[in-house]
Amino acid sequence: MEVFHCEVPSNQIVPFYSGPGQSEGKPKELEACRKVIGAWAMGATVSKVDSMGTVCRLGARP
């Protein structure tokens, strides 16, 4: 799963879309939504990058 940031005017309505990012059925209004701001893989542990760029795994067990 990926979460995208849409760089559009605040009054522009962004349509809901759930599907492949490169799909031909993706609405043209979503072309401004290219910057990935979050991603998640099934079964992955939670990770956080701190201000120094260090990846911290949260809830990971040795």
Write out pLDDT tens, residues 18-31.
888 777 888 888 88
User: Where along the chain do its domains lie?
Assistant: 2-58
Does the pLDDT of residue 58 top 80, yes or no? no
Give the tens place of pLDDT for each residue, 36-52.
887 777 777 777 777 77
Overall pTM > 0.85: no
- The pair of structure tokens assigned to 29 is 């209004």
Distance of alpha carbon 61 from alpha carbon 8, whole angstroms: 41
Instruction: Please list, in sequence order, all residues whose beta carbon lies within 8 angstroms of the beta carbon of residue 40, skipping any fewer than 6 positions away.
Output: 1, 2
**8 Å CB contact between 24 and 38:** no
Q: What percent of the chain has pLDDT over 70?
A: 85
Distance of alpha carbon 6 from alpha carbon 11, whole angstroms: 12
